[in-house]
Amino acid sequence: MINTVTIKPQGLSKHALPAKTNFCPLLLLTGLFFCINSAAQPVQPPATYPIAMTFRAFDNLKLGTEAFNRRLDEQAPYPFIHAARPDEAATIIHKRWPDKIVTFQDAYGGISPSDYEKVWPGHLLYRAGTLINHDVAPQDTALVVKDPMLIVKNNKSVQRINKKVPFSLIIYALDNTGKPDWSQAEHVVVEAIKGGQLTVKRGQWGSKPLSFKAGKAVVAAHMMFWTRQWQVNFGLQSPRGGKDNLSGAEWYARHIAQRLAAADANGVEFDVARWTWSNTKDHPMDVNNDLVTDYGYIDGVNSFGLGGQVFFRELRKQVGPDKIIQADSNDDAFGVRGWRYLNGIQMESFPAANHFDRFSPAFLHLRLWAENAEAIPHISYPFTKTPTTIFANAKLPDGRKTDFRFRVGLAAACLTGMPHPFATLQNIKFDPANPKLGKEENNEQMGVFNWDEYHGGDLNDWHWLGRPVGSAQQDLSDLDKTDLLAKSAWQWNMATGFNTEHKQTANEFSAQVKNIPAGIPPDKMWYGVQLAPKQGGLRTLQKNRQYTVEFQARGDDTWHYAGQTFERVPRMIAISGAVNANKQDTPITVLADSTLRTYRVSFTADGSPTPVFGVAEQTGTTEIRNIKLYAGGAERWSREFEKGLVLLNMTDNPWRVAMKKGVYRHLKGSQAPEVNNGQPVENEIVVPAQDALFLVKR
C-alpha cells in the first residue's frame, strides 16, 4: 500500500506547505536500516545521516602498495565501501573496520575471458544465427553460411571488432528434430570475411575442432555484455546442461555465490542489470535459439527479463538472507525488475544518466525500489557520477557552478534514507549502458571525494544530520490549481497485430493485452496499445515549460509462464509526448504492480501532444485512473533530522520556505562558501531552482 503522510517537519512553519491542496505525498520515505551479517561479523549500517559511500576507490591500485594503503586510510570515515578491488581488499577492510559494509561489483551475466572455458555453450546468449552451407571438417578454416549478414556486414567490421576483442562465434550441430545439440559445439574466432565466406580460427577457449554437416549446423555470434564479456542466457528457454544439469541463470547464480563465499564481502551489486537491451539494432538476441531474432520476448512475454528472477532467486538461495544483492538499474524501461529477492538498486549517474530535467521519473523509480524491495536491509541509492565545479572545474555555459549536481544527489539519498556515493566525470555526456563513452576520453575518475555536506563542513561530523525525525514531505506549492485535462475524453488505440480487451468509464480505463506481434523490438511494443486523448490530444503546452501529470495505476505483477510462477515483478507504463525528448529517446516510464498507486511525474514539455500512455510492454492487464495535468513542478521535498534539515527543489522556480526563527543555520564549509556560509536562517529561506540545501540546527 502507498503510505500517505501529512506530518509537517518541525522547524517549518505552516506556510512551508500549501495552505490547501487535494494532493498528498506520493510515498513514505523512512530510511530504516537493519542488521546484516558479513563474512567476518554482523554489521549495522548507521541509523544516522548522511551515509557517505566510496565507489571503486581502489581502481588501478595494486594491493599492498603505498598508494593502496593511502587510499585505504582515506576511507576511514566512510561506512559503506563499494566495489573494493581486488576481492582481497574486502578482507583487509573488514580486518581493520569490522562494521563497515563492503560490497563488490560484477556484470549482470557477463563472463570474462578467464572464465570462458568454464561455461557450457548452451548457457550463453547468442544472436540469431544462420545455417552452414557445406560439410565442415575439423581442419577447415573457411565457413560458407546461408546468410553472412547475420554474422557481420563486411570485412572492415571484422577488423574493427578484432582490434578490441577477438570476434567470437559459436558453431553448434542440430539434432534430428532441428534443436541445438550442445554436446557438438565449438567456439571459433572470425579473422576475415570475403564474398560470404568466413575465415576462422578453430577450436577456441577449450573447445575442439569438430565436424559439421551442411544444413545441420548453425553459426551464431555471441551476445556481449561489455566488450570482452560473453552474456549468459537468462531466458526461461535456456537449455539445461553442463554440470548438475542447470539452466544458464542457475549456473551463473552458483558462479557468483562461489565468488561471494570466497570474499569477505557483505554482498554484490550487478553492473547495468538489464530487463532488456537498449539499442536493439545492435543487440538482436535469439533467446530460444530458433534462428529468429526475438529480443528476449516469447509469446509476448519478456523471457530474458523474467529469467533474471530465476537468477536472483537461486542466488538468494545460495547466499542466504544476510547478503546484499543489488542491481544497477537506472530506469523502468531497460533496467531490471522484481522486488522479491533484491535489497535494492543502484542508479548510476543519477538522475537518468545525468539528465537533470528527468529528475522526477528517476526519483520516483528510486522511491519505488526503496519502498518495495523485500530483502533487508533496503539499499537503493542514487549514485552521483557527474562533472562538478569542485572536482572537475565544470561550469554551465553561463558560468554558473555545477556543484548543485552533487547536492541534488545527496539530498535524494537523505530523503529516501539511503547511502550516497560520488564519482567525477570530465564530461557530462556519459551513458552507464555504454562503457566506451567517457573511458576513451579519460572521462571517468573514481576515488575518495570528501564533500563538505558529507561531514557537515566545520562540524567535521560524518553523521551530522543525526536520525530522521519524520518521513520526507512533498510540497506542491509550485503547481497551478487548474487541471488542464479536466474536459478531455480518452480512448484506447491498438496497432495492427495487438489483440486486446479493454473497457472504460468516465475516469477509469483498463486494457488486457492478449497478443503482441512477434519479432518487433521492445520499444516498438510499448505503444502498440495506448490510452490517448481523443482528437489528437491537448496541444496547448508551452515548450520548455514544466508540467506535472498525475494519475493512478496498477497492473498484473504475477506471471505464470514457462511452467513457473513469478510474483512482484511489476509491468511498465510508458508516457509519450510529455517529455523533452531531444536529450534522450526513451519516454517517461513508471512501474505498476497490483497495488493501486498515485503517480505524480513532472516533465519539461517538448511542444507535442500530451499525454499518451503505452501499456503493451508485455501481455497482461493495466488499469489507469483519474488522469490530471497541471502547470508547474511537483518535486519540492523536505525532511527533518535530529540535527538538521534537507530541502530539495527540482522545480524551475525558487522555493520560498517559511522557517521558525532561530532554529537553523547554513553549513559552514570551504568548498562552496556561496552556499555553505554558516549564516543563520531567520524567517524564510529560498531554495534555488534545481538545487538542494542542507541546514544544521543551532
The secondary structure of 212-249 as a DSSP string is B-TTSEEEEEBPBSSTT-EEB--STTPPPBTGGGB-HH
Q: How far is CA 624 from CA 469, 508, 573, 618, in A?
A: 35, 6, 10, 16
pLDDT value at residue 543: 85
pLDDT score for 7: 31
Would you say 325 and 548 are in contact if contact means Cβ atoms under 8 Å apart? no
Is the residue at 99 inside a domain? yes
pLDDT at 283: 83
Q: Which three cell numbers stand for residue 15?
A: 506556510
**DSSP 3-state assignment of 27?**
coil
CATH (domain of 595): 2.60.120.260
Listed in sequence order, the residues at least 6 apart from 543 whose beta carbon sits closer than 8 Å to its beta carbon are: 605, 606, 607
Q: How high is the pLDDT of residue 39?
A: 42
Is 572 part of any domain? Answer: yes
- Of 439, 474, 509, the domain-final residue: 474
CATH number at residue 693: 2.60.40
Q: Are residues 358 and 397 in the same domain?
A: yes
Q: Which of 631, 660, 689 is the last residue of a domain?
A: 631
How many angstroms separate the CA atoms of 551 and 309, rounded?
A: 29
**Considering the entire predicted model, what is its pTM?**
0.92
Torsion sign (Cα): 122, 125, 128, 131: negative
The answer to whether the CB of 584 falls within 8 A of the CB of 355 is yes
Same-domain check for residues 152 and 270: no
Q: What is the pLDDT of residue 37?
A: 38
Domain shared by 463 and 581, yes or no: no
The answer on 414 and 279 residing in a single domain is yes
Confidence at residue 85, expressed as pLDDT on a 0 to 100 scale: 84
Do residues 435 and 295 both lie within one domain?
yes
pLDDT value, residue 408: 98
Q: What is the pLDDT of residue 537?
A: 62
For residues 516 and 570, membership in a common domain is answered with: yes
**In this predicted structure, what is the pLDDT of residue 33?**
38
Shared domain for 142 and 186, answered yes or no, is: yes
Phi-psi region of 334 (alpha: psi -120 to 50; beta: other; left: phi over 0): alpha
Polymer length of the chain: 698
569 falls within a domain? yes
Point out which residues pair with 445 in neighbouring strands.
Answer: 424
| Beta-carbon count within 10 A of 171 CB | 25
Does 119 map to a domain?
A: no
| 602 and 554 both lie in a single domain | yes
Q: How many helices (H) and strands (E) does the chain have?
A: 11, 40
Task: Report the candidate in 144, 152, 188 with the shortest Cα–Cα distance to residue 169.
Answer: 188
- CATH code of the domain in which 47 resides: 3.20.20
Give the chain's residues under pLDDT 70: 1-43, 433-442, 536-539, 577-585
- Residue 117 within a domain: no
Amino acid making up residue 77: P
What is the greatest pairwise CA distance in the chain?
Answer: 87
Kindly state whether residue 3 falls inside one of the protein's structural domains.
no
Give yes or no: residues 162 and 99 share one domain: no
Domain count, the chain: 4
Asked if residue 218 is part of any domain, the answer here is: yes
- Structural domain includes residue 323: yes
Q: How far apart are CA 114 and CA 124, in angstroms?
A: 15
Are 314 and 452 found together in one domain? yes
Q: With beta carbons less than 8 A apart as the criterion, state whether 408 and 691 touch.
A: yes
Task: Residue 335: give the domain boundaries.
Answer: 14-109+238-474
Same domain for 539 and 649? no
Provide the 10 A C-beta neighbour count for residue 389: 18
DSSP state of 401: B
Which three cell numbers, joined as nine digits, stand for 71? 587510499
CA separation, residue 693 to residues 110, 313, 416 (Å): 40, 40, 16
**Is residue 662 domain-shared with residue 625, that is, in the same domain?**
no
Boundary-marking domain end, from 192, 222, 252: 222
- Candidates 389, 387, 385; CA nearest to 672 is 389
Q: Which amino acid is at 268?
A: V
From CA 487, how far away is CA 503, in angstroms rounded? Answer: 19
